[in-house]
Amino acid sequence: MTGAIEADSPRGCTGCGTRPAVSHGAAARAEGADLRRVRIHPDHWYPLAWSRELKPGRTLAVSFAGEPIVLVRPKDGRVFALEDRCAHRQVKLSAGVVKGCTVQCGYHGWAYDASGKCTDVPYLGKGKLPNGVRAYPCREASGMILVFPGDPELAARTPLPGLGASADPAYKTRRLGRAVDCHYSFMHENLMDMNHQFLHRRQMGQIRPRFLGQRATDDMVEARYSFARTGGKQPLGEAAIFGKRRGEQEALAETDVMTIRTEYPYQTLTIRTNGAKPVMELWIVYVPLDAEQRRHRTFGLLSIQRPPVPLLLDAAWPVLVLFTERIFKEDRDIVEMEQAAHDAQGADWNQEVFPVIRALRHLLRTRGLAPAA
């Protein structure tokens, strides 16, 4: 670790057991809370499904932090999102039927429109219709169905997240998604602490990260690294990303810079070899599935800049897929082991020595909601 870290090191914060660079404020409500129990803040747009998972005329059962949600795609019309329960007997609307622009419960046929209003009970007069169910603001972008699970009044003035290079035709994008049995915070820390290259020693060869510095604001923590290969060969998957095969012992040039940023609640990783445009960009978010938020689904967009001869990237794609799958599996195994340890220990025993991770932990703690009582 370089002296540069020390220079960057943040001021003190008792609650976090960390010394963040950010100023405090209302967020102090979460001071001292166990980070692994801090709930993700619902006032953001979260992807709950890939667009391709929901066919026209069908429903899809998803969830956000324990709230069951049904996504409905009418044959003609925009996707909408409701509480996944019928107001009558609480069975899942996702087990029902799409009828026009409504979803009809499969049990007694009660129907609901996109606003959640009950529009029909087949055996009851229209004047007597009961109350409906909650509707969630819902959008579709870049192949994802996003929902705003928080205060609906805030949805209109909260922009969708920038989805990075995935909209730029100069890039080819791979969608990564998997359920992982851990709190979302483990994922942020995993990606930002590049010293964990040791975990990937079998996939990546021996790479030594060099920490270049960190930045932080109230909403964001960022770390920059360069890399030196200290042993082993450059893997094919890495070559696929960089568009060329480098010589042994050379690998990632020391001038290449990797930037990892958590801009709450999203995370990005970009690699720049020179110039303005990154050669690779990952946009990723970890969406809690259960009420305890001990399990999440990962939605990631991994975009690779197309090389001058585009077919080269297509040819290398299967290698890249295999490479990222293997890396991801190692990461998943280790973060699930962290969660299991937290479950067994009943508290966060983390003993962090890396200042940028301490700043990240502070960000996640102060931007989230305090643990449920």
Q: Which residues of the shown chain bind its own copies in the complex (CB under 8 A)?
A: 1, 68, 85, 87-92, 95, 106-109, 121-125, 128, 130-131, 193, 195-196, 198-199, 209, 211, 334, 337-338, 341-342, 344-345, 349-354
Q: Which is nearer to its own copies, 24 or 108 (CB)?
A: 108
205 vs 55: CA distance, rounded Å: 42
Q: Is the Cβ of residue 105 or residue 216 nearer to its own copies in the bound state? A: 105
CB of 198 to its own copies, least distance (A): 4
Looking at the Cβ atoms of 20 and 209, the one nearer to its own copies is: 209
Least Å distance, CB 186 to its own copies, is: 8
Nearer to its own copies, 320 or 363 (CB): 363
d(CA 313, CA 307): 7
Q: How far is the CB of 294 from its own copies (least distance, A)?
A: 15
What residues are paired with 221 via a beta bridge? 216, 262
Smallest gap, in angstroms, from Cβ of residue 203 to its own copies? 13
Contact assessment for residue 209 and residue 224, using Cβ atoms and an 8 Å cutoff:
no
Closest CA to 254 of 232, 277, 222, 230: 230
| DSSP bridge partners of 207 | 229
As measured in angstroms, the least distance from the Cβ of 95 to its own copies is 7
CB 362 within 8 A of CB 13: yes
Confirm if 313 and 170 have CB atoms less than 8 A apart. Answer: no
Find out whether 138 and 147 touch, Cβ atoms under 8 Å: yes
Q: For its own copies, which is the closer residue by CB, 42 or 132?
A: 132
- In the complex with its own copies, which residue's Cβ is closer, 23 or 349? 349
Q: For 212, list phi and psi in degrees, rounded to 5.
A: -100, -20
Instruction: Write out the H or E segment, with its range, that includes residue 156.
Output: none
Least distance to its own copies, CB of residue 207, Å: 12
Q: What are phi and psi of 175, to 5 degrees?
A: -95, 125
